[in-house]
Amino acid sequence: MDATERQHDLEISRMEYDDGWTVAADLRPLADDEVTVELIDDTAVVAVDTPMLRTEIDIDLPDDGGTASLRNGVLVVEGSA
């Protein structure tokens, strides 16, 4: 299943495969050093800290676990089935 949705004014893409899943969120124009990500159960907690904005955003994940990477303002969380 592939799905794209808007959550917290973010464009979030969710893809599920036979052997896992991927959730991607476009965080641009934020720089990678302005964002931290912590995976807690089936939620990615995204903390934003800029001179103009401090907030946390929760992104629902299909399952517990997974690994997060952030590159050029795009957050990718991947997990196995």
Domain with 18, as residue range(s), is: 2-80
Tell me how many domains the chain contains. 1
Band of the pLDDT at 81, cuts 50, 70, 90? confident
At 42 the pLDDT is 95
Q: What is the DSSP string of 15-80?
A: EEETTEEEEEEE-TTS-GGGEEEEEETTEEEEEEE-SS-EEEEEEE-SSS--EEEEETTEEEEEEE
Stated as kind and residue range, the H or E segment containing 81 is none
Find the CATH number of the domain harbouring 44: 2.60.40.790
Model pTM score: 0.84
pLDDT digits (tens, 9 = 90+) for 8-67: 578 899 999 999 999 999 998 889 999 999 999 999 999 999 999 899 999 999 999 899
Band of the pLDDT at 7, cuts 50, 70, 90? low
Strand partners, 38: 45
